[in-house]
Amino acid sequence: MLTALQAEPGMSVLEIGTGTGYQAALLAHRLGGQNVTSIEIDAAVAALARKALADADYGALTVVTGDGAAGYPPRAPYDRVIATVGACDVPTAWVAQTKPGGRIVLPWATEYHNGGLVTLTVGGGGTASGGIVGNVAFMLLRDQRSPYTSLRDVIYDEDHALITSTDVHPYGVAGDYNASFAIGVRVPRCRNVYRRPATGEEFQLYFVDAWSRSWACLHYLPNAIEYHVRQFGPRRLWNEVEAAYHWWIGAGRPPASQWRFTVTPAGQGIELT
Ligand SMILES: C[S@@+](CC[C@H](N)C(=O)[O-])C[C@H]1O[C@@H](n2cnc3c(N)ncnc32)[C@H](O)[C@@H]1O
């Protein structure tokens, strides 16, 4: 991630998600502590990081307690912004607080797929664009987490579920990095959850939308050529996932690196190049 950041001595950097302070220390070591600002939402975590950094002689860097989704305007603009916490939507504050020509590095995720390492080049006027340069998975920004807590809270009315079958192997829709990246883009607000009993080859792959309380379940049996699917709720999640998977195959199985991100003041999007 630091390689992707392309930070050079003298540049100013904002890090989102201080955590232990380890990465902030690496940044301070390279750029000088006075050029590094790190923001952490959890006050207790921020206090521990401040102490650890001071003990390691990196006390010159600034650790702020606050919501990093808003960036940190008092020390903006920055040459670089790096998030070590994932985002489904790129906070516009990060773009606004980065100098034109500057760079933003963040773990980007969908509810379905977590995720890809994205680098954005800031163009000025609240615009930025870029693509996926790596494979990372991070916890999400606090305000961007879904209401999902457990399968128990989302699966209901199992006796009334619509039952169909599919010949799509679960690996195709949930195991293949590039396919599941594309499905995540095309099927918003859908999480996949794998459940396997302690023994045996059999397992279940759930698809859940905790907002609308829709669910689907594919039951995998070894050596089967078709799998039973049950679905219930306002959305037919399996149908959406299967359609997105077939779309991805029809598009020539594009890798995640072929998607391009664009952020403007009017909104943000991701599309195949
Ligand atoms: C994976 S850790 C960061 C690792 C860290 N950079 C290190 O070197 O140890 C993610 C951190 O992001 C913090 N976080 C989550 N949401 C945040 C937000 N909205 N603003 C700032 N920090 C946030 C979490 O509390 C957690 O400490």
State residue 104 phi and psi, 5-degree precision: -120, 130
Q: How far apart are the CA of 7 and the centre of ligand 1, in A?
A: 20
For residue 206, what pLDDT is reported?
Answer: 98
- Domain locations in the chain as residue ranges: 2-144, 151-250
Cα within 13 Å of Cα(101), Cβ side: 1
Q: How far apart are the CA of 18 and the centre of ligand 1, in A?
A: 5
The pTM of the full predicted model, rounded to 2 decimals, is 0.95
Nearest CA to ligand 1 atom 16: 141
- Predicted confidence (pLDDT) at residue 51 exceeds the cutoff of 90: yes
* Dihedral sign from CA coordinates of 82, 126, 11, 73: negative
Nearest CA to ligand 1 atom 24: 17
Q: Which of 3.40.1210.10, 3.90.550.10, 3.40.50.1820, 3.40.50.150 is the CATH number of 2-144?
A: 3.40.50.150
* Dihedral sign from CA coordinates of 148, 217, 235, 111: positive
Tell me the residue length of the chain: 273
- Tell me if 42 CB under 6 Å of ligand 1: yes
The mean pLDDT value of the chain amounts to 96
Q: How far apart are the CA of 134 and the centre of ligand 1, in A?
A: 19
Closest of 62, 82, 70, 64 to residue 16, by C-alpha: 82
Q: How far apart are the CA of 84 and the centre of ligand 1, in A?
A: 6
Could you tell me which CATH class the domain 151-250 is placed in? alpha beta
Mean pLDDT lowest among 113-117, 194-198, 232-236: 194-198
24: confidence class by pLDDT, cuts 50, 70, 90:
very high
- Tell me if 49 CB under 6 Å of ligand 1: no
Q: What is the 3-state secondary structure (H, E, C) of 131-170?
A: EEEECCCCCECHHHCCCCCCHHHHCCCHHHCEEEEECCCH
For residue 199, what pLDDT is reported?
Answer: 87
For residue 44, what pLDDT is reported?
Answer: 98
